[in-house]
Amino acid sequence: MQKHIDRHHMSVSSSSRSVTSDTDSEAEKVKIDAAQRRTSDWNMKSYVLQTRHLDVSHSGVNIGNVLKEALTEWKLPTEHEVALVTDNASNMEIAAKTADLHPHIGCFAHTVNLACQRGLKVSALGRLLGRIRKVVSYFHRSTTATAVLKSKQQQLSLPIHKLVQDVQTRWNSSYEMIQRYMYLEQEPAIHAALSSPEIKKNIRDVVTLSCDDISEAEHVLKVLDPLKTVTNIMCAEHSPTVSLIYPMKAVILENVQDSNLVREVKQAIRENLSKRYTEEDTAEFLLLCAALDPRFKCLPRLEQNEKDEVYGNIERKVLLLGDGPEKVKIEPLEPGTETTDTQALPSFLNNNLPDFPTLNQSEDAPAECDLECPPPAKKIKKSAIEQLLGDVYIVSATPGKTMAQRVKSELENFKKQSSIPLNAIPLLWWKTNESHFQLLARLAKNLLGIPSTSVPSEKVFSTAGDIVTATRSALSAENVDRLIFLKKNRS
């Protein structure tokens, strides 16, 4: 298995490489999880490289040394940038510097969580959540109250759903607690249950929400609902997400006039989020990713001089990559095969982009299943002279261009392209147009495969929990590493 992954790594040496890492301080065997993620032939792929027992302090230097050992063991080249995606803990920042991994991207899902936690601590909202939490807790610990609630739900023809108890370290659980209380119309059943004689005499410090409370809760849900959607989108593993960080952050920070409570919540979220991704190198990197995503390449929230600076950075990055050996070869079609206008002309000579599959299907499905591609055209057998001289045969002589001229020409043609729809697949656009933007495509392939969250590492903890159980507590750290490696990489 390891040899197979090594061979695959070597075959896509020009594709993007990134590492996600996380630690679990509560596990019996504390682990460092590193996952490599890249695009090969414009398809997203991730592997679990290793899990390590860390029996020393979780300092940034110790974690960084473990990451350096992983880079050495897996022969990940460090002469080019290897991105690191982690949570926003200070020890991870030190670990990134120790392991010389850059850019270091803070997990966007964790960033949104921190901002929402700050919003939920607004005093007025905290009191509202406290009242809802008391009601939910009462029904969770009282079997009699639960039975009465179920009876009232049936009488009122409401969905038979249990109330959701929030976990204060996870903002989305507070969102789900309010949503279940409000939007599933459980409030009438709750009020009826609390007013029933069977449980009314046992109620202590539990009150139903007033009309003003219900109105405020509905307004808060409208604030949190887009953030819930953002979290779900950014945790996708089969489409690029790093290019979404810049536009998503800009949308969240937009100011909207609302009620006093909603303004307080938004202001708290805005103040926390506005500090994130502001380092010069990180901000420049995220703008590069957004500009190379054909959905956001127009960079609508920037002034023209700022856009020119971003595209100038792209030009310099492409020149630094050099004119590598990777070439895109287009095989000839069989004589008589019909071609559409899009096939006959390069896409930058006409503004009509081909129709792209969209992301309406589940993000958990493999990327290949989202595409309904026609069967590939049959290759014609080459003659002996074509096999010998095909690579050097020139149809017509054209003036040669320097590397800088080619990059500038590709960049100008790329900027002239129309942006693709938001729900289109950017990697498919690049796969379709790679032959027309060979130099830019190399940089896009390097950057767009980087994840915006550390979700791949978080998922490893769930797998480890299934492997290390009470009946298998004697497993050594080495065997745990092997079992997780085989479990996550067998497909």
Instruction: Identify the CATH number of the domain in which residue 44 sits.
Output: 3.30.420
Reply yes or no on whether the pLDDT at 332 is more than 70: no
The helix (run of H) or strand (run of E) holding residue 95 is: helix 90-98
303 and 431 in one domain?
yes
149 and 47 in one domain?
no
Q: Does a structural domain hold residue 147?
A: yes
Q: Does a structural domain hold residue 385?
A: yes
Q: Does a structural domain hold residue 265?
A: no
Q: How far apart are the first and last CA of the chain?
A: 10
Q: Does a structural domain hold residue 270?
A: no
What does the block give as tokens for 177?
């607690």
472 and 439 in one domain?
no
Reply yes or no on whether the pLDDT at 7 is more than 60: no
192 and 307 in one domain?
no
Find the domain containing 374 and state its range: 288-447
Reply yes or no on whether the pLDDT at 431 is more than 70: yes
Percentage with pLDDT > 90 across the chain: 24
Query: What is the Rg, in whole angstroms, of the alpha carbon atoms belonging to the chain?
Result: 27
- DSSP label at 424? B
413 and 305 in one domain?
yes
Q: Does a structural domain hold residue 237?
A: no
420 and 310 in one domain?
yes
What is the mean pLDDT of the segment spanning 176-185? 75
Confidence (pLDDT) at 35: 59
What is the mean pLDDT of the segment spanning 392-396? 53
- DSSP secondary structure string for all residues of 347-415: GGGSS-PPP--BS-S-TTS-GGGG--PPPPPPPPPPPHHHHHHTTT--SS------HHHHHHHHHHHHH
181 and 159 in one domain?
yes
Reply yes or no on whether the pLDDT at 150 is more than 60: yes
pLDDT in tens, 208-239: 778 888 888 888 888 888 888 898 888 887 88
User: Before 103, cis peptide (omega within 30)?
Assistant: yes
Reply yes or no on whether the pLDDT at 268 is more than 50: yes
Q: Does a structural domain hold residue 380?
A: yes
300 and 395 in one domain?
yes
Confidence (pLDDT) at 190: 87
Range list of β-strands (E), 425-468: none
One-letter identity of residue 229: T
437 and 349 in one domain?
yes
Confidence (pLDDT) at 200: 77
Nearest partner of 85 among 387, 400, 449, judged by Cα: 449
442 and 458 in one domain?
no
SS3 479: helix
164 and 50 in one domain?
no
More confident residue, 440 or 50: 440
Residues composing the chain: 491
Tell me how many domains the chain contains: 3
99 and 177 in one domain?
no
- DSSP secondary structure string for all residues of 183-235: TTS-HHHHHHHHHSHHHHTT--S--PPPHHHHHHHHHHHHHHHHHHHHHHHHT
Q: Does a structural domain hold residue 278?
A: no
pLDDT in tens, 275-326: 999 999 999 999 999 999 999 999 988 999 999 999 999 999 999 887 654 4
Burial class (CB in 10 A: 0-12, 13-18, 19+), 221: middle
